[in-house]
Amino acid sequence: MIKNVIFDFGCVLIHWDQHNLYDSYFGSKEKTDWFVDNICTWEWNNQTDVGKSFAESVAEKVAEFPEWEKEIRMYWDRWEDMIGGEVAGMKEWIHELKAEGYGVYGLTNWSSETFPLVKDKFSVFGMMDGIVISGEEMISKPDLRIYQILLDRYGLKAEECVFIDDRKSNTEAGEKLGIQGIVFENCEQAKAALENIKNHEDKNHHSTNLLTTNWRF
Domains of the chain plus CATH, in order, are 4-14+86-216 (3.40.50.1000), 17-83 (no CATH)
Checking if the pLDDT of 95 tops 90, the result is: yes
Checking if the pLDDT of 211 tops 50, the result is: no
Q: What share of the chain is helix, strand, coil (3-state, %, to 5)?
A: 60, 15, 25
Specify the pLDDT at position 200: 84
Checking if the pLDDT of 217 tops 80, the result is: no
Checking if the pLDDT of 131 tops 80, the result is: yes
Confidence of residue 122 (pLDDT cuts 50, 70, 90): very high
Average pLDDT over residues 47-70: 97
For 184-207, write each residue's pLDDT tens digit: 999 999 999 999 999 887 666 544
Cα–Cα distance for residue pair 205/217, rounded to 1 Å: 19
Average pLDDT over residues 157-172: 98
Which stretch of DSSP H or E encloses residue 97? helix 90-99
Cα–Cα distance for residue pair 37/185, rounded to 1 Å: 23
Nearest alpha-carbon partner for 40 in 15, 57, 27: 57
Helix (H, G, I), strand (E, B) or coil at 3: coil
Cα–Cα distance for residue pair 54/157, rounded to 1 Å: 35
Higher-scoring residue by pLDDT: 143, 214: 143
Answer left, alpha or beta for residue 74, where phi above 0 means left and psi between -120 and 50 means alpha: alpha
Could you tell me the strand order of the sheet in which 161-165 lies? 130-133, 103-108, 4-7, 161-165, 180-183
Cα–Cα distance for residue pair 179/34, rounded to 1 Å: 36
Average pLDDT of the chain to the nearest whole number: 94
Cα–Cα distance for residue pair 7/164, rounded to 1 Å: 5
Residues 6+ apart with CB under 8 A from 90: 7, 12, 13, 124, 187
Residues 6+ apart with CB under 8 A from 98: 104, 127
